[in-house]
Amino acid sequence: MVLLVITFVAAQTCQKSQIRYDKNEAISTAKRQVDFTPQRTQIRLLRQGLNSKPYWIVSLSTPGTQRGTFHNLAVVKIDANTGKVKSITQPQGSAEP
């Protein structure tokens, strides 16, 4: 009985930490979340929390006229297991006026 419980817990933990949503799907999802057409895209996989849950962090941007500035910038956090969007951040002050 104890072995059955351990097996169930291990299976649930492994299942939650798997990457089922690939980076191309994450980029496509992120682009649908913003109201501009990005010229630059960066993506990275981060594991967060005690259970190391995987997330795709997708940065979308259009460069500004001055070096180091952006006309548009957004960072979209996507659950790499389910494909659900967890957050969308559009920093203020990094875009050109």
C-beta of residue 46 within 8 angstroms of C-beta of residue 55: yes
| Percentage of residues in the chain having pLDDT higher than 90 | 60
What tens digit of pLDDT does each residue of 14-59 get?
A: 555 688 999 999 999 999 999 999 999 999 999 998 888 999 999 9
Q: Which whole-number Å values give the CA distances from 28 to 14, 37, 48, 52, 73, in the listed order?
A: 26, 12, 22, 24, 16
Report the chain's terminal Cα–Cα distance, integer Å.
64
Annotation: CATH topology of 2-89: Nuclear Transport Factor 2; Chain: A, (3.10.450)
State the pLDDT confidence band at 1, using cuts at 50, 70 and 90. low
The SS3 of residue 27 is helix
What pLDDT is stored for residue 95 in this prediction?
A: 52
